[in-house]
Structure 1
């Protein structure tokens, strides 16, 4: 069963501090004792514009209307390859690795609907009540 505490958070915070680029402002929190959440509040890279560009490209490929990101979004850590060609790709991968650094394991079997992980990880850009800030 997933479990996260302040002791594990401290290990992750040290690793995250090592990999976070200069000028990126972020916070780290524990959510419901099961997840570690990294929220990027500001960066010299316009992450909102990157997300909107990727959404427009995907929508054009599918012949659909693009979804517009307005100030905040959650990064899907299971499809980080989507960001590889962008300025955020390498950083997102480093953040994901740092978030999984505190004794992380995954013995899940989705075929049997059995999920057993050390803890869950989330990466957010901005918040609903405090949008992401591009500090160029």
Structure 2
């Protein structure tokens, strides 16, 4: 059964703040089985670097697959790779077997860019003249 402790969630939060100081995050747990990472604001323009036309326009992903990361380009892709690496750094494993309906994973990770009631705020960097 998936489980992540509050201490591990706190480690993820602290690592994200340390590695990506240009972004503001909300990191929380849901039912001690899921880590929900929401990027609230920052200087990364995720939406202009989102390239997947086949999937429509989303703001929430499960980032445990390269196909999601590859839907982005440039600095957004590199940022999501860093977030993913940190999110799965707390003893994550996946020994699930969908052919036998057996699910065994350490915990789940959900990645959001903003929320429905609180959109992502892009902080424009002012260039020196």
TM-score normalised to the size of structure 2? 0.82
1:14-93 → structure 2 map (5 Å cutoff): 14-20=14-20, 22-51=21-50, 54-55=51-52, 58-59=53-54, 67-68=56-57, 73-77=59-63, 78=65, 79=67, 80-83=69-72, 85-93=73-81
Please state how far the C-alpha of 1:81 moved relative to its aligned partner: 2.0
Using CA pairs below 8 Å that are at least 6 residues apart, which structure has the higher relative contact order?
Answer: 1
Judge which range, 92-101 or 2-11, deviates more: 2-11
- C-alpha contact 1:48 1:132 (8 A) present in aligned 2: no
- Give me the whole-angstrom Cα distance separating, in 1, the residues matched to 2:34 and 2:74: 27
Please state how far the C-alpha of 1:76 moved relative to its aligned partner: 4.2
- Give me the whole-angstrom Cα distance separating, in 2, the residues matched to 1:131 and 1:14: 23
Aligned to 2:127: none
Question: What stretches of structure 1 of length at least 5 have no aligned partner?
Answer: 60-65
- Give me the whole-angstrom Cα distance separating, in 2, the residues matched to 1:100 and 1:123: 12
TM-score normalised to the size of structure 1? 0.79
Count of aligned pairs: 121
Question: What stretches of structure 2 of length at least 5 have no aligned partner?
Answer: 125-129
Please state how far the C-alpha of 1:68 moved relative to its aligned partner: 4.5
